[in-house]
Structure 1
C-alpha cells in the first residue's frame, strides 16, 4: 500500500514538504496554478527523485485565492491552456493526479472526465491517480492509461450521484484532523477494503494508494503514523 501526499502547495523550502518526503512513497507536486512556488516544486521533484520516491504532477484550477477547491466556470479551451502551462513545469513526469475541484468534478461528470483523459493522452500521461470506479478512472482505462486507485486517510466519504465521493469541505466533519481517527480509516481501507460513510454505513472501496493532504497542520504526524502502521508485504 503506497502512501501519497499532496505537496508543494506552500512557500519555497517548506519544512513540511521536506518532512513528508521522508515518510511517503509518492508525492503529488503542485504546479503553481492553485498554489505553490514553481522553482521550489522543481527542486522538490529533484529531491524526491534522488530519494527514490515516485512523483506525480498535481494540476488544478488557476485559482490561488480559492486554493483550486472552487469549481470555476471557465471554457475548456482556457482550462486546457492552463493545464498545458502547468504540465510544462515538470515535463518529465508521466503520472498525474488532478487537484481539488477538478478531481472532484471528474468523479461524477462523465463528459468532463473524458476531456481530462484526452488531455492526459495528448500530454503524455501514462498513469493516473483516481478513485477505482470513478468516471475518470473508467475513461483512463479505455484509453490504455494505467490507474493507481486512490483512497483518502483524512477525508470523510459519502455516496452521492451514484458514486463514492468525498464529503464537501463546507460540511462539518468533512476533514479528519485527528491522526488517530485517520489511522482508523486507513485500517478499514487497507485491511477490510471498506470505508465508513458519513451516515455510519460501510461501503466497499479498492485502492493501491492512500492520500493525505500536505496542507494540514497534522500532516507530518499522520504520515509518520501511517508509515509505521501500514501492513508490510
Structure 2
C-alpha cells in the first residue's frame, strides 16, 4: 500500500504537466476556431487534446488508493469542520478517480460496450462535490484567520483611531465593509498557500459545471481555468510550502 502511494505521488507531476498541455490545447483550439482556422487544423488539435486526456487517465490509475489514504488521515483532525470537509472531499476524489479509471477502459478500447457518457457524468459529479468541499474548507479557514486577526488588532486599532479622531475633534470613522475587505485582502496576502488553493479550486469549479451543463460557458473559459489551475498545481509540487495543509 505505501509503495503504491509513493509511486502515485511521483506520477502526479507528469499528470499535471499533461493536464496543462491538454487545457492549453482546449484554449488554442477555441482561439483558432474564433479566428477562422481550417477544419483540418482544428481536428488535429482536438485529436491531440483527446490523446492527452487519455494519457492523463493512465497516470491516474490507482489514485483512488491515495485519496482513501488521505481520507483516513483526515478523520483524525481535531477541528470538526476541517475533518468533515477534507474527509468528504477525499472520499469524493476516490470515487472520481474510480469512475475515471473505468472510463479509461472504455476510451482505450478495452471495454467497447461501456456507456462512456454515463461514466463521464458520474465522474464529473464526484469531482464537482469534491471541489465544493474544498472551497468550503478554504472559506472556513479564511473565516478563522479573519476572526483571529480581527481579535488581535481590534483593541489597538480602536484606541489609535479614537485618539487620532479626538485630537482633531472628529468622530472615528466606521466603515465595516471596507474594513472587512481590507482584512480579507491582508489575510490572503499573508497566506499564499490558502490563496493559491482558493484560486485553484475556483478555477477548477467551472470545468465540471460546464461538463454537467449546470453552468455552460465555452471551451475558451474551460481552457483558461484548466490551464491556470494546472500551473498552480505544478507550483505546489515545485514549492511544497505552497501546498495548503493539512
TM-score by length of 2: 0.24
Which protein has the bigger helix share? 2
Query: Which of 1 and 2 has greater Rg?
Result: 2
Which protein has the bigger strand share? 1
TM-score by length of 1: 0.25
Select the structure with the greater relative contact order (CA < 8 A; seq sep ≥ 6).
Answer: 2
